[in-house]
Amino acid sequence: DSGVTQTPKHLITATGQRVTLRCSPRSGDLSVYWYQQSLDQGLQFLIQYYNGEERAKGNILERFSAQQFPDLHSELNLSSLELGDSALYFCASSVVPGQGGEQFFGPGTRLTVL
């Protein structure tokens, strides 16, 4: 157990719908990262937050948005869902970016868009 929690574990929805994925980082970690992993693919970096502020953006679609709340949990919102959005979405946390150190990954949320 990495100490990073993600809910829900599985999510099945239809095209055009909107979903919210939730992540709670490890206690003490200020930085949260979101990744998308499609079937047999690598980890596509979506977005990073540090202490409530957006720090870096990767290949995140305009239909996707995220935020980090004062209690440091983060939510990833996916809207106007398409079949191609089906993937495993990981959240990871680390203590302070820029110092190196392990990223701790959550168990992931498996999103299936039908």
Q: Which residues contact another protein (rule: CB under 8 A)? A: 2, 31, 33, 35, 41-43, 45, 48, 50, 55-56, 58, 90, 97-103, 105-108
Token match 């200020």: residue?
Answer: 30
Q: How many CA atoms lie within 13 A of 67 on its CB side?
A: 5
The smaller minimum CB distance to another protein, of residues 38 and 80, is found at 38
- Rounded to whole angstroms, the Cα distance separating 43 from 82 reads 19
CB of 51 to another protein, least distance (A): 12
CB of 24 to another protein, least distance (A): 14
Q: Are 76 and 106 in contact (CB under 8 A)?
A: no
The smaller minimum CB distance to another protein, of residues 52 and 58, is found at 58
Q: Are 74 and 53 in contact (CB under 8 A)?
A: no
CB of 14 to another protein, least distance (A): 24
